[in-house]
A and B are shown apart, each in its own frame.
Chain A
């Protein structure tokens, strides 16, 4: 098997829900890329990341094909989690495993055959950078809040699964510190693909894939044309975040809120 590192993942077009071919030649994903997938509910966003996750071979409903380093990936990439170069964090914010946080992570570490005693603690510590509600090692996975679960699964994908490509389905929904998540993922040289309805997450991504009717409609590379909108989104997000924290702390917001 060729186990050379994943340099590039390529999406080749399939068909939209009406059977019309998608209008792009190929979409390439490389380390450090940030891409957001946008479009109305039901437009096929989740189906697109599912195609990437299973390395579709014209065998899913969309007819797309996904290549690794320009070729069909070896079977181990698809089937053996220890080789799989992508990790998907689903919209689901409930973990069903009836285990404690430390047991769950330890079992994942064992399945990956990682010999690193501190990795469970480091994963919990990283997860706690993404959420305001502290995650404890002894808490049960099923008792975590949506934000805690999401934070833990993202931290797990970064440190334990250590996948070079992360697929995040509506990361903004769970109330986690999305800017911090993006910062950590970028610093780690990960390629990150967001399915998102959030303007800030979209504007922070270097590329946007626009979905309609089950197919890719356009791929936009805004370059620096959206800098002003990004600054404004960051400012508004800062205001909302401060207000959220005041409200959570039980305070009245009576003073000026603008920055």
Chain B
């Protein structure tokens, strides 16, 4: 089975990219889909109804959604294999630009919108830097020069990133993403899949529901305003 993890900011077009991918690959693959979100999600029901594929969701509630994703990913691989799938698509909640839910043995796809601002790629750091392929959506809304400038910004963060430009509603340009998914190596041993880096997830005291403001009320990563310029850097 192959694994592809789709991440990207809210409203970037992740689900539209997933939908086109399923539509194009359905005739030659058995696809399973997992959506990770926070409060509510409907994509699993919509995609299951539209394509008749096994689909499910996890709502992380008060927990960081990418943390939730890490927790359930191993189970999800087993579930998809049990469903007879040969491709598992996992779509992240896309809340925090610092998140990077990509793993080894799976294709990392970042989705970003061409109309999201020239500096957006520079703000995305690990989500962009650790991906294998960037899908730039809403390409029909910008001119050639703007496309190229946006591309240049992505390359500043990750010069080797494969870039696919698409109007995901129409499906233009998707052929290169489909090829990348189909050519990516299969999972060799699900028990050895690890995250590509230690992402800034942190099950912090805020994540688990403490609402008091001020470091005095929290434990774990605690900083005062004076020394909080750059709050935390992982290993």
Interface residues of A, Cβ cutoff 8 Å to B = 50, 54, 56-57, 59-61, 75, 79, 81, 84, 87-90, 92, 95-99, 104-105, 107-108, 110-112, 153, 156-157, 160-161, 163
Contacts and interface: CB of A to CB of B under 8 A. Distances in A.
Nearest to B176: A79
B117 to A, nearest CB: 6
B117 A88 contact: no
Contact of A89 (B115, B143, B163): B143
Nearest to A105: B145
A59 B171 contact: yes
Contacts of B165: 79
Contacts of A75: 176
Contact of A104 (B119, B145, B155): B145
B143 A59 contact: no
Interface of B: 115, 117-119, 140-153, 155, 163-165, 167, 170-176
Given A96-B118, A97-B149, 9 more contacts: A79-B163, A88-B144, A108-B152, A111-B151, A111-B155, A112-B148, A153-B143, A156-B144, A160-B145
Contacts of A157: 143-145
A151 to B, nearest CB: 12
8 contacts: A50-B172, A59-B174, A59-B175, A88-B143, A96-B146, A97-B146, A97-B150, A161-B144
Contacts of B147: 81
A184 to B, nearest CB: 17
Nearest to A87: B144
B143 A108 contact: no
B181 to A, nearest CB: 15
